[in-house]
Structure 1
Amino acid sequence: MSSTPETPASSTPLQPEDLTGFFRRAERPDRRSHKIGTEHEKFGVVVADGEYRPVEYEAHVLAVMQGFMARFGWKPGGERGNDGALISLERDGASITLEPGGQFELSGKPLADVHLTCQEFTQHQRELHAVSQELGIAWLGSGFHPFATREEIHWMPKPRYAVMRAYLPTRGQRGLDMMLRTCTVQANFDYASEQQAGLRFRLAMGVSALTTALFANSPYKEGEDRGFASLRSDNWTDVDAARCGLLPWAFEAPFSYQRYVDWALDVPMFFIRRQGRYIPLHVPFRQYMATGYVDPDGVRHAPTQGDWELHLSTLFPEIRLKPYLEVRGCDSVRQNILCALPALWKGLLYDDDAGEAAWELVSDLDFGERLTLWAECRQAGLASPRVRALCARLLTIARAGLDRADIRDHRGRTEAFFLDPLEALVAAGTSPADVARAQLGPRPGRDVAARRAFVRAFHFAGAGLEET
């Protein structure tokens, strides 16, 4: 949910051809130029005072961001928050942004291979650890906050979140939990043409449930195991059905940019942005396109290219089409398997033979069966024999794709070696959630001792690393 700074497109009048043109302009016909961008979110916990409580902006998150600037050359990003608050950083094509509850997100630079991606995230972990350890802050890789209540988590000073905070509860029961208590790891991939975008979109939508199971890492809510391997994934089923989930038409041929546009046009908007101010607007974009909008002050607003780009960024299907293909179905995890996410998806999406083989795993399912598989993946994870068997085959296919790419590190390993920890989980029939359960039990609780145990189980960086 990273904010989008205003650009020249923000005020350029929107023409009908711009709707699909946004995607056409992003095509990269030379497949050798296709890159990988990875995003990772984590929860901050204050451990210095011994209370193990969620971070606040002024006292903690701002200090971390200032440390990144002072020590590692990061610069303020293009958008400011309420009263000029620092809410993003930039460096060499990468960015750091804040999710609504202070979740700290690195959006990595588009890179040529997973070896480089993993180097980038290793550097990020080291920088985050160096800054946060001195401040007594720990960061957790988990899909759902394991112990904090919604009321304990502090809102970040980003204007768009105020609009979403008011609107999402009118669309579903768990929108605020999504904003405050979920974290993910995502990856972004290029496409050469409309046809290729469609094939990759369908494939990714088809197997995304299996990746949810492989990375399922959120069994706990408010100190108790709630019976799901991925509570984060389950949470998304009750946020806003119009903009979330699996899209039935993604599995119907033929794909076109226009089909994605037609779907997006019928989704109600969150807002438009003018001079840094977010103006609530909750009609379908199609209606706004036809009539414009007169705000409460009597100012008339006509649709702009920036409005369309902003609207597209507020759609949350499991696979999202932007100037790249964004895979969104996985829980945040610790460093030991983080790099497996971009590796797995690269092996499937950037090798045609692998893509065809992976699609065959799920091609015969009707849409109801796809929903059933998705539910099984988020609840049972790799403990389900069916899911485990499908994931084993998926990893074999992805490994072959990565080996065929034959991009090696200084030790002679292809990118396929990043899949090793996932293959170990599949062999054991345990998602990351089950590893945490074995360590913590079903009801760790919410007292100080339990919170300390949660930090040890889900630790990503910062204070407390020596205890893990």
Structure 2
Amino acid sequence: MTDSTRTVTATVLRTQDEVEAHIRAICFKTGPPTLLGAELEWTLHSSVAPSAPLRPAVLRDALGRHTPVTLGSPVPPDPLPAGGTLTVEPGGQVEISSAPATSLPSLHAAVSADKAYLTQLLGEAGLSLGEHGADPYREPRRILRTPRYDAMEQAFDARGPHGRVMMSSTAGLQVCLDPGDDPLRWAAASALGPPLVAAFANSRRHAGRDTGLASARMAAWWAMDPRLTHPVPVTGDPAGAWARYALDAPLTCVRRDGACWDAPPGLTLRDWAEGALPWALTPGDVDYHLSLLFPPVRPRGYLEVRYLDAQPGDDWIVPVAVLTTLLDDPATALDLAAPTAGRWLEAARLGLADPALRRTAAALLDLACRRLDGTGLSPTVRAQIVSFIERLPWEGSQ
């Protein structure tokens, strides 16, 4: 399946039950949690004029042999020196996806090396990485033109401007963790969302103005279609809950021959499974649909935690270490996080100025700090994490 042509494979999913069985088979890996990873995304700016529009040709020249196909490379890009892969998002945001690591220290070393390499590569072209979860200087402007992104923009525009902001003006920090055999890890990863969004909110300014929000990035995601971006219900059957979420989610784009992949308005994956489209539904179509769902925690064989704002400089390790450490004991994390598990909107709007979220975040981060010695991180990095947490606005001011 290419990004411009729909190819029907021999396998066809003919019923909702077959679709659900396929989703169940691919979304949760069993076994003890052993691997972790991180995806670091940044807005990109001219080093001397950060509000200037980003020119695709300048970015292509800067990235050289690491230029993704979506930005015009005729061949797949080379990996970064420590094994990470580089992608470019619709508004020109750059993202490093780490190779899977077996420990926090190895993840920290690899991502730090790739980030330093990318920073130098961009710096030589007069470009610099942003330090916030939303572009503080510019209005959304898409520089990538692909059938996927065209269809996404068309679908999101039907509900307002927030989809364009998400696509072209935001930068997140994603943490990827094995789900493990304990269903409490899935529940805890979701419940931790609001207090950690509040603690690491880093996107108050957008497009030259003070939004008044702690996390304008999270607020943009939350204001989109809730069937695409709100949390998956936490039940005793995580795979079943995810399958139902996917079936009831609207189609954002449908791959087919030609440049237009716009989805029929209002049509869901369930409708397609029931024969609402003239094309057979294949496992590849289902997988592509899953890639267009953006809940705060997304199961992809691993748990992709998507709710954190990008962090400045080398402080990306702080929320990664906190989340990884807390999920080593999901029962305790869930118990501490449960009182504020549903306060997503308050987290985006108020951050730690919300008293309930401030109390929950303080308890969780205190626990994480007390357990840092067991992570294997160096004393210097552990001190960096503790110092960052101590500097958070615990008095509740925005």
Interval containing the TM-score (normalised by the shorter chain): 0.7 to 0.9
Q: 1:332 to 1:159 in 2, by over 3 A?
A: same
Aligned residue for 1:424? 390
Distance of 1:430 and 1:39 partners within structure 2:
29
Does residue 378 of the first structure (1) align with residue 377 of the second (2)? no
Moved more, 216-225 or 374-383: 374-383
Does residue 261 of the first structure (1) align with residue 250 of the second (2)? no
Q: 1:261 to 1:118 in 2, by over 3 A?
A: same
Distance of 2:268 and 2:361 partners within structure 1:
38
Task: Deviation per CA, 1:173-201: give whole Å up to 9, x if none.
Answer: 311111111111011111234xx3x4222
Does residue 238 of the first structure (1) align with residue 223 of the second (2)? yes
Listed as ranges, the gaps of 5+ residues in structure 1 are 295-300, 435-468
Task: Deviation per CA, 1:423-443: give whole Å up to 9, x if none.
Answer: 213475479xx6xxxxxxxxx
Give me the TM-score of the superposition, normalised by structure 1.
Answer: 0.75
Distance of 1:414 and 1:113 partners within structure 2:
17
Distance of 1:82 and 1:51 partners within structure 2:
21
Task: Deviation per CA, 1:209-268: give whole Å up to 9, x if none.
Answer: 111112111111232222111111111222212211234x32xx4234122101210111
Does structure 1 conserve the Cα–Cα contact (< 8 Å) formed by 2:358 and 2:394?
no
Moved more, 157-166 or 204-213: 157-166
Does structure 2 conserve the Cα–Cα contact (< 8 Å) formed by 1:54 and 1:154?
no
Does residue 216 of the first structure (1) align with residue 191 of the second (2)? no
Tell me how far 1:401 sits from its aligned partner. Answer: 5.0
Distance of 2:83 and 2:285 partners within structure 1:
24
Amino acid at match of 2:331: E
Task: Deviation per CA, 1:324-382: give whole Å up to 9, x if none.
Answer: 11111111111232011221111122x2xx311221124356xxxx54x3233222222
Determine which structure has the larger strand proportion and give its number.
1
Does structure 1 conserve the Cα–Cα contact (< 8 Å) formed by 2:251 and 2:289?
yes
- The alignment partner of 1:327 has SS state of strand
Amino acid at match of 1:61: L
Aligned residue for 1:102? 92
Aligned residue for 1:356? 331
Match of 1:290 among 254, 265, 274: 274
Q: 1:192 to 1:360 in 2, by over 3 A?
A: closer
Q: 1:277 to 1:141 in 2, by over 3 A?
A: same
Amino acid at match of 2:287: E
Distance of 1:8 and 1:402 partners within structure 2:
49
Does residue 326 of the first structure (1) align with residue 304 of the second (2)? yes
Moved more, 285-294 or 381-390: 381-390
- The alignment partner of 1:308 has SS state of helix
- The alignment partner of 1:135 has SS state of coil
Tell me how far 1:419 sits from its aligned partner. Answer: 3.3
Aligned residue for 2:157? 169
Does residue 408 of the first structure (1) align with residue 376 of the second (2)? yes
Distance of 1:402 and 1:344 partners within structure 2:
8
Does structure 2 conserve the Cα–Cα contact (< 8 Å) formed by 1:47 and 1:137?
yes
Tell me how far 1:130 sits from its aligned partner. Answer: 1.5
How many residues get paired? 392
Distance of 1:395 and 1:30 partners within structure 2:
27
Does structure 2 conserve the Cα–Cα contact (< 8 Å) formed by 1:149 and 1:222?
yes
Task: Deviation per CA, 1:369-415: give whole Å up to 9, x if none.
Answer: x54x3233222222344322211210133345554xx3425x5x498
Does structure 1 conserve the Cα–Cα contact (< 8 Å) formed by 2:4 and 2:256?
no
Task: Deviation per CA, 1:293-340: give whole Å up to 9, x if none.
Answer: 23xxxxxx2111111111111111111122111111111111232011
Identity of aligned pairs, percent? 24
Determine which structure has the larger helix proportion and give its number.
1
Does residue 81 of the first structure (1) align with residue 65 of the second (2)? no
Aligned positions of 1:182-201 closer than 5 A: 182-193=170-181, 196=182, 198-201=183-186
Amino acid at match of 1:285: L
Does structure 1 conserve the Cα–Cα contact (< 8 Å) formed by 2:174 and 2:308?
yes
Give me the TM-score of the superposition, normalised by structure 2.
Answer: 0.87
Aligned residue for 1:298? none
Listed as ranges, the gaps of 5+ residues in structure 2 are none
Amino acid at match of 1:166: Q
RMSD between aligned residues: 3.2
Moved more, 277-286 or 259-268: 277-286
Does residue 19 of the first structure (1) align with residue 20 of the second (2)? yes
Q: 1:18 to 1:141 in 2, by over 3 A?
A: same
Distance of 1:4 and 1:328 partners within structure 2:
24
Tell me how far 1:20 sits from its aligned partner. Answer: 3.8
Amino acid at match of 1:420: V
Tell me how far 1:119 sits from its aligned partner. Answer: 1.4
Match of 1:271 among 226, 237, 253: 253
Does structure 2 conserve the Cα–Cα contact (< 8 Å) formed by 1:89 and 1:97?
no
Does structure 2 conserve the Cα–Cα contact (< 8 Å) formed by 1:143 and 1:230?
yes
Distance of 2:9 and 2:385 partners within structure 1:
41
Tell me how far 1:27 sits from its aligned partner. Answer: 4.9
Amino acid at match of 2:93: Q
Tell me how far 1:51 sits from its aligned partner. Answer: 7.0
Tell me how far 1:134 sits from its aligned partner. Answer: 1.6
Amino acid at match of 2:211: R
Amino acid at match of 2:252: F
- The alignment partner of 1:279 has SS state of coil
Aligned residue for 1:307? 285
